[in-house]
Amino acid sequence: MLGLGRRMLGRQEDAEDAVQTAFLKLYRGVKQFQFSAKFSTYLFRIMMNVCFDLMQKRRGKKERAFEEIEISHAPHVDLRLQLEEAINALPERMRACFVLFAVEEMKQDEIAEILNLSVGTVKAQIFHAKARLRILLSEAPVEVKT
């Protein structure tokens, strides 16, 4: 959850605040949990809504500050850094789909449930995200072997 928050909101403090808010919301609304869904999906859905709320507030303030990520000298880390930046630059919903799919390793139907989208939309969002990131990686000078 913290990883998702960090990648959606960009700052560690914001991500931790989002996790705290998500747990409070979970506490307040746990009675609404329907046992037909997976609990982790329910929790991620709350977390995702908190992130979207925070991003909306931030948009109101015209604030968008992603933390500087520590740069290591190893070339593979530079590529990771570039990927982090490219993910941050994706539109919000596309970023959410990609992060849940590629970083959190969730299935597309789970993502659809978390984001309240159709599976087809999720597939399309991931497809477009990969297309954008592919441009970045094809321009990258170093071969990745991680």
- Closer CB to another protein, 9 or 114, in the complex: 9
Furthest-apart CA atoms within the chain: distance in Å = 52
Residue 138 structure tokens = 């094809």
- Whether 50 contacts 4, CB under 8 Å: no
Give the shortest CB-28-to-another protein separation in angstroms.
Answer: 7
Pick the closer one to another protein by CB: 60 or 83. 83
Nearer to another protein, 39 or 127 (CB): 127
Burial class (CB in 10 A: 0-12, 13-18, 19+), 77: middle
Question: Which residue ranges make up the site for another protein (CB under 8 A)?
Answer: 2-3, 6, 12, 15-16, 19-20, 23-24, 27-28, 74, 76, 79-80, 83-84, 87, 98, 102-103, 105, 119-120, 123-124, 126-127, 130, 133-134, 137-138, 144-146
Angle between helices 119-139 and 75-88 (to 10 degrees): 140
